[in-house]
Amino acid sequence: MEPGVSPISASLRSALVPASRRTTLALTPTGSSSRVNRPRLPCSIAVLHLQAAVDGIQDFHVGGWSRPRRGPGISPCGWTRGLRGFILDVTPSTHAPRRRRRLHAALEAGGGQPRILVVNGSARRYGNTFKLAYVAAEAARREGALVELIHLYDYPIVPCQACYSDDLLECHFPKKCPLYTDAFKAIAEKILESDGLIIATPVYWFMASGQVKNLVDRMTSMENMIYHTGRSLLEGKVAGAIAAGEEAGGAMALAWLALTLNMMGLHIPAWGLAYYHGRGDALDDRQALLDAYNVGRSVARATRGLGGGEWYVKPGEDVLSEIVEAARREAERQRRLQEARRPWLRK
């Protein structure tokens, strides 16, 4: 084990590396017989790492909302017991569409569990961006949310063709978008089904990754439905964002994501943004882990209080006339008051 690295972090790190073609995650339990004094993470983070590894994570796949599978040789949490530890089978389920239909029926019947989509926007499926996204996903799951984590680079998204700039009404989801048949269609369906969206991105030259930029650009067609139906398809959803990078630019990437998502109609809750700035392993940075955990927790909690509803005034609705006139009158009154106090003031 590396000096200065907590055993729990090392165990979870080993769990993030694929062991074979059939995607499995291998975890070797950490023994307590070591006599070498090594710094350990605080109890809260240790519990977070250990619980995420042993209590069972979501059965992540691209087919729908999933739960840990059960079966011969598989523990209730989805971990197969082995000679040297645990192996978690995360092979894509063939029953995802059926499971999704059952889930939606349960939600309509009053189940009420929020659904959150977590997007790893990094080409590295095992890097710091994924690790922080994983922590956020686990935090949301512990708040009672149904969580799906996807790797964005599994979805080749064609860049936006800027139909909006030629004709405002040509940007329409999904009828008029000429690119709707590419991989964005699958992600768009997941976003529409979600109550919350968490996007995690690496920092590429003070900005999000190109694939994240393509995703957000293509989401314009969903937001632009304001001019067709009077409402953005993203309105009322809750969003969080995470950035990870070795050099400067994390705050800039987060600022761009937060501003854009909010302008599309999504809520950004308190503690809904987090970033990791460093060259090392994010699993060894307590503050970065807590920040990422708070993103998942805040988004999950906010979906219950903020999700849904209409927030944006419809373009044809006249709510401004009286306010504008009142604002003009008040501004003129304030100008005269100020001039009376300062006669030398000029317009």
Flag whether 103 is in a domain.
no
Q: Quick one: 152 and 52 in the same domain?
A: no
Q: What gap in Å lies between CA 205 and CA 209, rounded to an integer?
A: 9
Check pLDDT > 70 for residue 65. no
Q: Indicate whether 223 and 142 sit together in one domain.
A: yes
| DSSP secondary structure letter of residue 77 | T
Q: pLDDT tens digits for 310-335?
A: 767 776 777 777 877 888 888 888 88
Same domain, 346 and 270: no
pLDDT in tens, 192-243: 999 999 999 999 998 999 999 999 999 988 888 888 888 888 999 999 999 9
CB neighbourhood size of 53 (10 A): 23
pLDDT of residue 343: 66
Q: Is the pLDDT of residue 268 over 90?
A: yes
Going by pLDDT thresholds of 50, 70 and 90, the confidence category of residue 183 is confident
User: Does residue 105 lie within any of the structural domains?
Assistant: no
Contact 264, 257 (CB under 8 A): no
Same domain, 273 and 338: no
- What is the reported pLDDT for 168? 73
The structural domain count of the chain equals 3
Residue 104 covered by a domain? no
- Stronger pLDDT, 15 or 117, i.e. the higher one: 117
Within this chain, do residues 170 and 287 fall inside the same structural domain, yes or no?
yes
CATH of the domain at 239: 3.40.50.360
Is residue 231 within 8 A of residue 314, CB to CB? The reply is: yes
pLDDT digits (tens, 9 = 90+) for 95-130: 434 444 544 454 444 357 899 999 999 999 888 999
Where do runs of H (alpha helix) occur along 208-320? 210-218, 220-223, 226-229, 250-263, 286-306
Whole-number Cα distances in Å, 263 to 36, 38, 235, 268: 52, 47, 10, 11
Q: Which residues pair with 117 in a beta bridge?
A: 148, 197
108, part of any domain = no
pLDDT at 248: 82
Question: Is residue 75 pLDDT above 60, yes or no?
Answer: no
Q: Are residues 312 and 325 in the same domain?
A: no
Where b means 16+ CB within 10 Å and e means fewer, 130-153 reads bbbbbbbbbbbbbbebbbbbbbbe
- Whether residue 284 sits in one domain with residue 184: yes
Res 81: pLDDT: 34
The rounded distance, in Å, linking the Cα atoms of 184 and 188 is 6
For residues 303 and 326, state if they share a domain: no
Both 205 and 279 in one domain: the answer is yes
Residues spanned by the domain of 89 = 1-95
Q: Model pTM? A: 0.64
